[in-house]
A and B are shown apart, each in its own frame.
Chain A
Amino acid sequence: MGLFDRFKKRFKKTDEKEITAEENSVEAEEAVEQGKRLKEALEEARPTPQEATPKPTLEIEEEWDDSDEITEDPFAKPIGRKERKKARRAASVEKAERPTESEKPTTKDPMQSTTGHDLVASGPVEIEINLGDSVTKTGGRVVMSSDKLDRILEELEEELLSSDMAQSAVEDVIHTLKATLIGSRISTTKKIEVVVEEALRSTLLRLLEAGYWDFNKTVSAHLEDSSPVVIMLVGVNGTGKTTTTAKIANRLTQQGRSVVLAAADTFRAGAIDQLAIHAERLGVRCIRSQRGGDAAAVARDAVESARARGEDVVIIDTAGRMQNKTNLMEELRKVHRVTQPHLVIFVADALAGNDAVTQAVEFQRMLRFDGAALCKLDTDAKGGAALSIAHATGRPIVLAGVGQGYDDLIDFDPAWLIDSILE
């Protein structure tokens, strides 16, 4: 049984009178006052918006020691591209095959997403709850503070926490929800449980939709300006960067783009081989060095070679790293500096709990990613990490990994995630 079903059941047994007060009653007046106080308290508790850290300097390093270890993988024939598992989710397949050719990008400004949002704007998101047409100016009943309401909110809180939405984000949402509800005049035509459901759903949806940009359209928009379009994937260890690199390559080649992969994970054992095998299977070029080589050099070589050959897209696979390791993060910035990627994608693991916040915030601070890819959404994970990331950084989740096959990459669908969390 879904959250809201259980929820409604509980409400049937609940007397509305315990949650709302008659208009013009003393209780109603008190509730309005309390609502105000709660809102003020929330305002005070909010951290003052921090000055945004500047985007890493983007000038190309002048003296770049040329690495001679780069050897290119010549166009390898796509040998026996293995039969891949059918996409597990019918929906995913449908989405992946959605026609994209005729779609015209609505914007070409490289700093803007197709929805017109600034791709670099970021920072923690302030939760706002809109009770919409549930609120009425006259008549209705006023929501007051009660144990029952608290218990209901607590249940919602637990449900969100169980979906792996981070504690901090859940707290923000629940507190704001409570402060908004108390003292509000709710139209009598609407049941309180419906009011709460709608408010929560729309709040979470807004959180995920804020700043959303369409991956294909954005790549197309960049391509109209210049090529190659450089996409860089970053994230902590084992989240799915390499697999996503391959999946993106697959998607773009199917759209007729020429793609080059840069094996800039020169650190992890077997990482270069892993990407090279993907490249071979997909029939794309892979620029690589010896293990232990300079990641930035590999990435830069890939970009230059793609430019020389007039290829469309370069995807840089980087080594996973813990965001608390400064030197490794600096190395990543160096890759960023010398390649000036058009899009930086933070790859997160849907299985992650609260740490998704710390990761996202730190990667955002160091690199300013444009959007996130949430992988392993096909697993038991509910994926509340998406909400945490959006809440903590203001950056949207744009891609979702739903399996190990090349086709298992879909555009992230906020409504789908919210439904699967709430139902």
Chain B
Amino acid sequence: MALDGLKQRITRSVGLLKGKRKVDEETAKDLSRSLRKALLEADFNVRQSKELTERIERRMLEEEPRPGVKLETHAMNLIYTELVRILGRPREIMPHNQTILMVGLYGQGKTTTTAKLADWWRRRHGVKVAVIEADVHRPGAFEQLQQLLEGTNVDVYGEPGEQDATKIVRNGIKEVGNVDVVIIDTAGRDSLDEPLRDELVGIAEIANATERFLVIDAQVGQAAGPVAETFHELVGVTGTIVTKLDGTARGGGALSAVSATGAPIVFIGEGEKVQDLEKFESDRFISRLLGLGDIKGLIDLAPGDLDQEEAARLAQRLMSGRFTLTDMYSQMEMMSKIGSVEKMLSHLPDAMFGGMGNMSMAQKRQMQGNLEKYRVIMDSMTQKEKDEPILLKSSRIRRIARGSGVNEKDVKELLAQWNRSRKMMRGMKGDRSFRRKMKSMMDVDDMDLDMG
């Protein structure tokens, strides 16, 4: 996951404070230096990283943590608030009477995101959406948008072969008629290309859009800020969409874009498929970044994909301290519905899956491979065995292995996994802060920053 890298590094930086009761200048400096490196690796703007870490360094020296709050937690809170500051106030986009203009550099994901947004509002809000392809420069742009929206009832307007983008927009708006949302996809461009800049200004005039979204690839580095500024000057950016967060890029450049325009992130792209879009909520994004996790994100993933109640029930089970194989089974089922362990893990607090959030990619992948096997094994167990796996002695293990057509070793491996998870859960049960966290996650509006 894109954010894992930064998360790991921030955690490592904050780890410098472990066991410390007071911050001396040197420690504060080390923390600041280490954080700065983390931010630079994540493509934060060079100047911004410097300012931000200097501010954190100062605040670490000047501000006392609240009583009972560990220094590490204190530092995390500072980092959290500083990052939230960069992200700005979130905005809700209502899919009514909207004309949305998509702008951005070459190859950032504008066309894909146009389709994703159209499908999102159509699917979730049941509103009528139409899209207009105004990219007259990239060959196959119209076919791309059309194919992306195949099988949906979104109208796709375009005039392949036409060279005048403003004309397409003018005709398109007339043609699509009375719909709730019109999204206009434009060609990629940058500030140095004058004809393309003029073209965009022309399109913006005709479109008279209610929203102008800047689409930016998570991998874009230091150019992000200046580029965003130019687009802001040209059309007045109202929202930012960060794409390709399913890769490993950490998206710091996109945050510079947000700083430059003041236009908050409204959606994020997490894959090439039309469904791979998520609404963006800054505090959730950052708590995920810092390893706080959030169950709400998981539930919000897609109502069709995941049984919300099941997730809430599971959280409750975990809090009650009883953890059966069936619970582990449910976790797996949820995971397999979502289709990817990574996606799921990135939404959950690290602790919930026994620190799996800190597993390497290879380990996670292996875990994914194990799921199917575990499922088969458990299908050969009785309910009682699943509820109290402790019962499972060698003769039963042999039976189950035979019944599910695996080696005894595999069954034992499953039990070992359960045992590890159980110990984790038991450990967490006693941890009041974890309980508090779980509670707050189920009701994220009331987020508790105290992780001490």
Contact = CB atoms under 8 A, between A and B. Distances in A.
Question: Do chains A and B stick together as partners?
Answer: yes
Interface of A: 85, 88, 158, 161-164, 166-168, 171, 236-240, 267-278, 281, 291, 322-326, 349, 351-356, 358-359, 376, 378-382, 384-385, 404
A74 to B, nearest CB: 19
Contact of B220 (A158, A353, A359): A353
B247 A161 contact: no
Nearest to B42: A354
Interface string B281-302: 0000000000000000000000
Contacts of A271: 140, 144
A349 B223 contact: no
Contacts of A236: 219, 244, 247
Interface string B134-176: 0001111111111110000000000000000000000000000
Contact of B221 (A164, A168, A237): A164
Given A277-B139, A324-B248, A326-B365, A355 B219 contact: yes
B140 A277 contact: yes
B249 A355 contact: yes
Contacts of B248: 322-324, 355, 358-359
A272 B218 CA distance: 25
Nearest to A82: B163
B221 A351 contact: yes
A236 B248 CA distance: 11
A351 B190 CA distance: 11
B260 to A, nearest CB: 12
A235 B367 CA distance: 27
B325 to A, nearest CB: 29
A105 B104 CA distance: 42
Interface in B106-154: 106-109, 111-112, 115, 137-148
B250 interface: yes
A167 B40 contact: yes
B57 interface: no
B94 interface: no
B37 interface: yes
B40 to A, nearest CB: 5
B361 interface: yes
Given A270-B147, A322-B248, A380-B227, A167 B41 contact: yes
Contact of B250 (A322, A326, A354): A354
Max chain B C-beta neighbours (<10 A), residue from A171, A270, A352? A270
Nearest to A281: B139
A253 to B, nearest CB: 17
A354 B217 CA distance: 13
Max chain B C-beta neighbours (<10 A), residue from A239, A281, A379? A379
A281 B142 CA distance: 17
Contacts of A349: 107, 217, 219
A161 B143 contact: no
Given A271-B140, A324-B247, A352-B220, A379 B148 contact: no
A236 B249 CA distance: 11
Nearest to A322: B247
A382 B222 contact: yes
B350 interface: no
B43 A353 contact: yes
Contact of A270 (B40, B137, B141): B141
A355 B43 contact: yes
Interface in B257-273: 272
B105 interface: yes
Contacts of B140: 270-277
A349 B249 CA distance: 13
A422 to B, nearest CB: 15
Given A167-B40, A171-B37, A277-B140, 9 more contacts: A269-B112, A269-B148, A270-B111, A270-B143, A270-B145, A274-B138, A354-B221, A376-B107, A404-B138
A269 B192 contact: no
B357 to A, nearest CB: 16
A324 to B, nearest CB: 5
B361 A324 contact: yes
A268 B144 contact: yes
B190 A380 contact: yes
Contacts of A274: 138-141, 143-144
A354 B222 contact: no
A168 B223 contact: no
Contacts of B221: 164, 351-354, 381, 384-385
B246 interface: yes
B253 A353 contact: yes
Given A167-B37, A270-B140, A351 B219 contact: yes
A60 B436 CA distance: 58
B220 A239 contact: no
B222 A161 contact: yes
B315 interface: no
B252 interface: yes
A381 B222 CA distance: 8
Given A273-B139, A379-B223, A382-B223, A168 B41 contact: yes
A115 to B, nearest CB: 30
Nearest to A378: B192
B226 interface: yes
Given A269-B144, A270-B147, A354-B42, A379 B220 contact: no
A379 B106 contact: yes
